[in-house]
Amino acid sequence: NAGVTQTPKFQVLKTGQSMTLQCAQDMNHNSMYWYRQDPGMGLRLIYYSASEGTTDKGEVPNGYNVSRLNKREFSLRLESAAPSQTSVYFCATDGYGQVVSSTDTQYFGPGTRLTVL
Amino acid sequence: KNEVEQSPQNLTAQEGEFITINCSYSVGISALHWLQQHPGGGIVSLFMLSSGKKKHGRLIATINIQEKHSSLHITASHPRDSAVYICAASLSSGSARQLTFGSGTQLTVLP
């Protein structure tokens, strides 16, 4: 039972390159979230998915796309990376609205540290 | 948009001291979350509360809905409590739990 996993852990990109951050959960949760964390600004919601097949924008969606591939997997794509996207990215999941044992909190992945040069 | 403010931003304490971290928010919420971010970067959820008080070991979280204020207390602090503590306000939108986060309180407990 791994909880929430993210790959890669670290990545360095050049401006204009593209990449996809992967997230997977084995908690049978419907809801998944992507956040970015920047110094002094706290975590901010990029996109979220309330169920398989649905995605919605959060606070800072510009420059990102997401795919909810199935119930377990939620990926975040940077089509043309910019230095402003240098950040630590966290995926999270919760059982909001479900009758599961772990509904009370969000569970976070270990994070991906991305640097865009 | 909900604004979430934490204080203090930084806190240094001696081992054994009683610690309080405060959180205020600007609009009505469905719940208030407290999270801990370890020095290695991992984030774990400590509490979710919508009223009253919750306790887990040496950690106590309280919320005053009328005053839009929550506190996290740590009793008998220990160096292993050193971490960033983050509060987040939850607005349950109907389809998902959207969190607005404070910028965190860096706690250092000295031996």
Could you tell me if B48 lies within 8 Å of chain A, comparing CB atoms?
Answer: yes
Instruction: Enter the tokens of residue A81.
Output: 């990376």
Find out whether B87 and B24 touch, Cβ atoms under 8 Å.
Answer: no
**Percentage of chain B surpassing pLDDT 90?**
73
Q: Which of B23, B19, B28, B30 is nearest to B83 (CA)?
A: B19
Q: Which of A42, A54, A113 sits opposite B104 (nearest CB)?
A: A42
pLDDT for residue A104 = 67
A91-112 pLDDT, tens digit per residue, is 999 988 776 655 568 999 999 9
Could you tell me if B57 lies within 8 Å of chain A, comparing CB atoms?
Answer: no
B6-41 pLDDT, tens digit per residue, is 999 999 999 999 999 999 998 778 889 999 999 888
- A111 sits in the region (left: phi over 0; alpha: psi -120 to 50; else beta) called left
Rounded to a whole number, what is the distance in Å from the CA of B110 to chain A's nearest CA?
23
